[in-house]
Amino acid sequence: MGTNAEKRARQRANREYAATEQPGRRGPLVVVALVVLVGLVAGLVWAFASGGDDTGSDGDTEAVADGADPGGAADPTSTTPAPDGEPAPTVQADGTTSTACPPPERSSERHSTFEAPPEMCIDPATTSYSAEVDTTLGTFTIELDALRAPVTVNNFVVLSRYRYYEDVPFHRVVPGFVIQAGDGDGTPDGSNDVGYTIPDELPPSAEDYVDYSVAMANRGPDTGATQFFVVLPGGGAQLTNAYSLFGQVTRGTEVVDAIGELGGADQTPTSEVLINDVRIVESPIEP
């Protein structure tokens, strides 16, 4: 699939290379490890002999070692970033692990996999959110329903700001039903694994899937992550309320219709349509 396919191939190759043990490296690593171990033992012996109190402390170093701040909350602990630069997860005060919030102006690099779901980075009580989805056929705007589906909207906002959706195709197009996108690194299209899933936020009824509504695709309960679909006119009648509903296309429905006309017999588009970019727009909620 052109440039997008080449990018995915490079990403997969990088991860496979990083996961493969490189020959001829084991011997030097062992030597280095032994040197470090000897140094640590020597340091412990010296500290014990000197009483371990040359810093002026009262000997209680547990809080510093834990990384706890004066208020008792755990200091975020970062892991080593993955080979292709994915954001490192942080450990929260309650012991759960999450991906840190990207900057509102977006990450400087695109990220395709993560080690944990995102922490809550939006504030539905004070701010409304929309997404401008720029595609190779034009732009459409999604009004995101953060009050109805805060977890799903937060996830979509975080992924967009980590530039996950850049150069990602609409890989499934079913005329009269849905257009679907969000597989950032799967082979074949539709099989991606971003590294986590999020819980469902389901509507009360299937009747809530109106024309041009936006929902998360999934492989079963609580398996949504990155893939989403836009309901084409009349398509909601074919759905059950098993998909997290989180937005509504309010501008650019003609672009959605144009993509929806490209469906082939096997649900793959007859010509490639890519998401160039997804930009999140915030607006304050009037009191």
> Rounded to whole angstroms, how far apart are CA atoms 279 and 113?
19
What pLDDT does residue 6 have?
A: 55
Q: What is the pLDDT of residues 161-199, one digit of tens each?
A: 999 999 999 999 999 999 999 998 878 888 889 999 999
Residue-level pLDDT at 281? 98
Residue 151 zone, left/alpha/beta (φ > 0; ψ -120 to 50; rest) = alpha
Residues of the chain with pLDDT under 70: 1-86, 88, 92
For the stretch 25-65, pLDDT in tens is 333 333 333 344 444 444 443 444 444 343 333 333 222 23
Q: In the prediction, which pLDDT does 27 show?
A: 38
Angle subtended at Cα 230 by Cα 224 and Cα 231, rounded to the nearest 5 degrees = 115
d(CA 223, CA 216): 9
Domains of the chain, by residue range, sit at 122-284
First to last CA, the chain: 48
Q: What is the pLDDT of residue 88?
A: 60
- Nearest CA among 163, 129, 165, 166 for reference residue 149: 129
User: Which pLDDT belongs to residue 185?
Assistant: 83
Architecture of domain 122-284: Beta Barrel (2.40)
Q: What is the mean pLDDT of the chain?
A: 78
**DSSP classification of residue 55:** T
